[in-house]
Amino acid sequence: MAKIHFKDIKISAIATTTGDKKVTIEEEADNFGYDEKMVKRLKKRMGFNSRYIVSDKICTSDLSIQSTEVIFEKFDKDDVEALIFVTQTPDYKAPSTAIIMADRLGLGTDIVAYDINLGCSGFINGLLNAYSLLNSGLKKVLLCVGDVASNFAYYKDKNLTPLMGDAGSAILIEKKEGFNADFVLHSDGGGYKHLMISDGGCRNPFSKESLKEKEFEDGIRRGVDMYMNGGEIFNFTIKVVPKMFDELFKYAKVSKEDIDYFVLHQANKYILQNIAKKLEIGEDKLPMNTMTIYGNQNSASIPGTINGFLYDKFRDRKKVLFAGFGIGLSWGACIVDFEDVYLPKSQTYKAKDEK
Amino acid sequence: MKKLIEDALREINEDLESKELENITDETPIFEILDSMAILDLILELESRLQKKYGKYIQIADETIMDSKKTPFKTFKALQQFLEGKLDG
């Protein structure tokens, strides 16, 4: 386990932009071969309802740039010295999208910019990178996270696609005395096959075969699409997340009573309910509705939950626990001091000519 | 415990409408009959009923639940023994 403590670093703003199209489970039922009974069951039992996805050709960078522009209406962009972009859906295979985004945002050339390829644990790992750069002497770092999951979740894959939403968040982080953070992080490549896109890299280069539909028991997909072994991912999550909480409480020398809000990656209602029950806390302290309304927003699901449901909760000093877990396999959590953070409500993407 | 599990299975079967769950025996192959969503559903139902009956939260799910070889949901009898073990533990 990697454990890291930081001091005098503050999250100053978080903004999230979701995809521009809202689709409901009823509208997509035919794609997944769901009958009326199944739709009713999914809504009642699993909380499936709607998700926000993008129209064609809109990239994660477009969503994150809109989020950043909202932040820059309140904060000076001149001191931003780094842009980190955490995504599995970059604009191009090369170069790093972060470099292009820095240019689009007018951040000049005196800036370090790079991408990190991570999904559900991406917000925690991105924060860790941002805090590390600030700890090394930079003044202000812009972290952008998110995915256009509709790019890799095949429309016929009933196992994965109904869960996924598109979103891009921006987080402004800067040096500020009196704000502490503690992180714990883990990775286990032994489980990489349980959640992956197999084709398109050097190991399995893209070919005609990559676009051929294949039918499996749990859905129809292609080599270029994300595959998820739901059972294995569930087993992994139930095994590591509660343990990680204990590690973090111990490392940060806090108890669950010291935490005002628990904001977790929003992938599985059972896991969230399970953790809430174990910690003996209610939904007011551990929000769990993001997937029902927006879909699983991958690395943007933690900031997306804040902008979606907790945007009016952080005027006074609070201690907040964030936790992300998933593809890699990779999992991490942190406890941060939160106060006077600029948190606009989540917005949907608007093309420049619509604004 | 037997009745608690039967009631939980009946509750989730209201949506599933599985004929195999209408006559439950010790050998009823629960893991075979239920899809992964229904297994999660059953876990939530059982946890909630156990909490109501025994006044404490008992976590049922662990890393074996969705493992076809190790799952304690293989048969009705196996599930009953698993839950009785959880209570004793």
State which residues form the domain around B45: 2-88
Q: Which of A37, A45, A238 lies nearest to residue B37, judging by beta carbons? A: A45
> Is the model's pTM score more than 0.90?
yes
What percent of the residues of chain A are helix, what percent strand, and what percent coil, each to the nearest 5? 35, 30, 35
Question: Which residues pair with residue A9 across a beta bridge?
Answer: A175
| C-beta separation of A167 from A17 below 8 A | yes
A298 is catalytic: no
| C-beta separation of A182 from A5 below 8 A | yes
CATH number at residue A136: 3.40.47.10
CATH number at residue B13: 1.10.1200
- Give pLDDT tens digits along chain A (355 positions): 899 999 999 999 999 999 999 999 999 999 888 888 889 888 877 888 999 999 988 999 999 999 999 999 999 999 999 999 999 999 999 999 999 999 999 999 999 999 999 999 999 999 999 999 999 999 999 999 999 999 999 998 888 898 899 999 999 999 999 999 999 999 999 999 999 999 999 999 999 999 999 988 777 899 999 999 888 898 899 889 989 999 999 999 999 999 999 999 998 787 888 888 888 888 899 999 999 999 999 999 999 999 999 998 888 899 999 999 999 999 999 999 999 999 999 999 998 765 5
A270 contacts B61? CB cut-off 8 A:
yes
The closest of A69, A39, A66 to A166, measured between CA atoms, is: A66
Among B13, B14, B15, which would you mutate to test the A interface (most chain A Cβ atoms within 10 Å of its Cβ)?
B15
**Overall domain count for chain A:** 1
A239 contacts B66? CB cut-off 8 A:
no
Is the ipTM of this structure higher than 0.95?
no
A44 contacts B57? CB cut-off 8 A:
no
Among B18, B31, B32, B37, which would you mutate to test the A interface (most chain A Cβ atoms within 10 Å of its Cβ)?
B37
| C-beta separation of A173 from A9 below 8 A | yes
Cα nearest neighbour of B13 on chain A = A41
The closest of A127, A83, A68 to A323, measured between CA atoms, is: A127
| C-beta separation of A105 from A77 below 8 A | yes
Supply φ then ψ for residue A237, to 5 degrees.
-65, -45
State which residues form the domain around A198: 1-355
